[in-house]
Amino acid sequence: MRIYRDEDADLSILQGKQIAVIGYGNQGRAQALNLRDSGLQVLIGNRADEYADQARADGFSVLPIAEAAARGDVVMLLIPDEVAPEVLVRDVAPGLAPGKALVFASGYNVAFGFIQPPPGVDVVLVAPRMIGAGVRDLYVAGRGFPSFVGVAQDATGRARDVALALAKGIGSTRAGVVEVTFAQEAELDLFTEQCFGPAFGQVLTTAVDLLVEEGYPPEAVLLELYMSGELAYTLAKIAEMGLVEQTALHSRTSQYGSMSRGMRFLLPELRERMREGLEEIRSGKFAQEWAAEQAAGCPTLEALRQAARAQPLHQWEQELRQALSYAPPPAADLLAGHGASAREGARPGLWMRAGAWLRSLLGRVRGPGEAAPTRPLRAEEVPAVFRAFLARVAKDEALHAFARDRDLTVHYLLEEPDLEFHMRFAEGRVAAGFGAPPVPAQVRLRARAEVLDGMLTGRIPAMRAAMTGQLRFEGEARLALGMQAVQGDLSRLYREARQEVTGAVQ
C-alpha cells in the first residue's frame, strides 16, 4: 500500500481556488485554520450559532451555508454526519456547479447511501485519524497526523490530486496519508467503535472481576490494570514503536511471560463475534438501525446513556478523576490508600470507598458481618417458587402502575431445571405465567435457575451475571433497561415467594 507524503502532493492545484469550509466545529475550525496557514483561501459557511461567532473571532468571513457553498470551488462538509444529508440537499447541492469538489471527512453517508453525490463534481474524502484539537496542535507544532483519503467520484480527472493537496494543506502528508474507499473508511471506523472497543472493554472488566473475586484489593487491581496510566503510556508506545518492538521496554520476565502465554487467548469465539459485528456493519444493518433510531428521536440511545450514568462506576470515576486531576498522587500513595485520602481533603477515604463499591458490584467478596449467602434452591423447589412468584407478580399494585403506559413482554428461559415463563406489562395490566408468552416477546432472558435465583435474592449482581455470561439477553435494550424501575419490586415478591415455599428466612 502506498503512503503519500509531502512530496506526493501539490498544493498549487488549490492556489487561486476558493475553499468553503461548511461547519466550524472540531474538524471545521482545525482544518480551516491549517488550510489558511498553508496559504490557501478559505471562507466559512455556517448557520448563525456560536460556531459562526468563533469563526468570525478567528478572522474568517462567515456566510450562510448556501452562499458559501455557491462561492466555493472546493466545498468541505465538516458538520455532524447525522445532519449532513439534509444540509447537503437543502443548502449545498444547489451551489455545486460541475467541476467543483465536494469533500467529506467521513465516508459514512456516501458509503451507506444516505447521500447521493450530485453528478459532475469530484467527491473526495480527507479523513484525519485525529481529533480536531490534535489536527490543529500538531500542525502548529510542525508535526503531522495520518489521514485517509479517497475518491468516490472523479468528474475532473484530478479528484485524487485535490484530495492529496487538501491533505497537505491541513498538514497530514507530513505524517503520511493512505488511500481507501469511502466504504473502507466508514466500515473500519464503525468496526473500531462496535467491535474492537467493546471487546477491549470486556477484557478489562473481566480482568477486574476475576482479580477481585480472587481476593486482590480492588484499589490495587484498578491501579495495576489501567488507573495508574501505565496502560495508556504503553498504548502510546505501541503506536510509536509497534506491538513487537515495544516489548523491549518491558523486563525479560515480562517478555517471556507474555509471549509464552499469548496463545492461550487466541479465542475463536472472539473472532466470530467480531465477524458478526463486521457483517452487521457491511450489510448496512447497523446504518439502517441507527437511521431508524434517529428518526424516532433516539429513545434507545437516551435509555442507554441513562443506564450508563446510573452505574455507580460513573460516579466513582468522576470523583476519582477530580481527586486525581489537581495533584496526581504517586502510585505508592494511592496504593496505601491513606496518602490519597489526606490529599483529597473533602473526600476522605476515596480509594477505600471505591474498593467497597467494587466489592459490592462484583459480589462474592464479603466482609465480616455481612449477610451469608441464601441457601441454593433444590431443583424440585424451583417450579413451586416461581409459580408463587408469578402469582404475586400478577397481583402486585406497583407492577400494575408500571404497566400503565407500557407494552412490554419478557420471556424467561431457565435452565437446570428447564423452566419457561413470561411477564407481560401492557395497558395497566400484568399477566404472568409459565410457558411462552401469548404475544412475541420484545425481551428474552436466559440463565440457569440458580443464577436468576441469585439475582432476585441479591446474591448475584445482575451486572456481574451479564458480564460473566451467566445471564444472556436478546431483544430490545431500551425496553429491557426500563425493567430496572421495578427490579426492587420483583426482588421483594420473589423473596416472599421463596420464603413461602422453602420456609427459610433470607
- Residue number, 26 or 172, with CB nearest to ligand NAI: 26
- Residue number, 53 or 245, with CB nearest to ligand NAI: 53
**Nearest distance from C-beta of residue 49 to ligand NAI, angstroms:** 5
**Nearest distance from C-beta of residue 427 to ligand NAI, angstroms:** 38
**Nearest distance from C-beta of residue 469 to ligand NAI, angstroms:** 34
- Contact set with ligand NAI (CB under 6 A): 23-28, 46-47, 49, 51, 78-81, 83, 87, 105-106, 127-128, 131-132
Rounded Cα distance, 437 and 94, in Å: 54
**Nearest distance from C-beta of residue 190 to ligand NAI, angstroms:** 11
- Residue number, 52 or 350, with CB nearest to ligand NAI: 52
CA angle 226, 309, 354 (to 5 degrees): 45
- Residue number, 134 or 433, with CB nearest to ligand NAI: 134
Q: How far is CA 235 from CA 127, 258, 275, 295, 401, in A?
A: 22, 16, 24, 38, 50
**Nearest distance from C-beta of residue 155 to ligand NAI, angstroms:** 21
Taken in order 341, 347, 348, 353, the sign of the CA dihedral is negative
**Nearest distance from C-beta of residue 14 to ligand NAI, angstroms:** 19
How deeply is 489 buried, as exposed, middle or buried, from its count of CB atoms within 10 A (0-12, 13-18, 19+)? middle
Mode of pairing for the β-strands spanning 18-22 and 74-77: parallel
**Nearest distance from C-beta of residue 480 to ligand NAI, angstroms:** 30
- What's the distance, Cα to Cα, between the start and end of the chain in Å? 65
- Residue number, 25 or 461, with CB nearest to ligand NAI: 25
Cβ atoms of 40 and 19 within 8 Å: the answer is yes
DSSP 3-state assignment of 248? Answer: helix
b/e 426-455 (16+ beta carbons within 10 angstroms → b)? eeeebbbbeeebeeebbbbbbbebbbbbbb
Count CB-CB contacts under 10 A for residue 473: 13
| Kind plus residue range of the DSSP H or E element containing 432 | strand 429-434
**Nearest distance from C-beta of residue 33 to ligand NAI, angstroms:** 13
- Residue number, 85 or 339, with CB nearest to ligand NAI: 85
Q: Mind spelling out the 3-state secondary structure of 284-340?
A: CHHHHHHHHHHHCCCHHHHHHHHHHHHCHHHHHHHHHHHHHHHCCCCHHHHHHCHHH
Q: State the residue number with the nearest CB to ligand NAI.
A: 25
Cβ atoms of 377 and 402 within 8 Å: the answer is no
- Residue number, 127 or 501, with CB nearest to ligand NAI: 127
Q: Which three cell numbers stand for residue 137?
A: 496542535
- Residue number, 22 or 410, with CB nearest to ligand NAI: 22
**Nearest distance from C-beta of residue 3 to ligand NAI, angstroms:** 19
- Residue number, 126 or 222, with CB nearest to ligand NAI: 126
Q: Which three cell numbers stand for residue 337?
A: 490508600
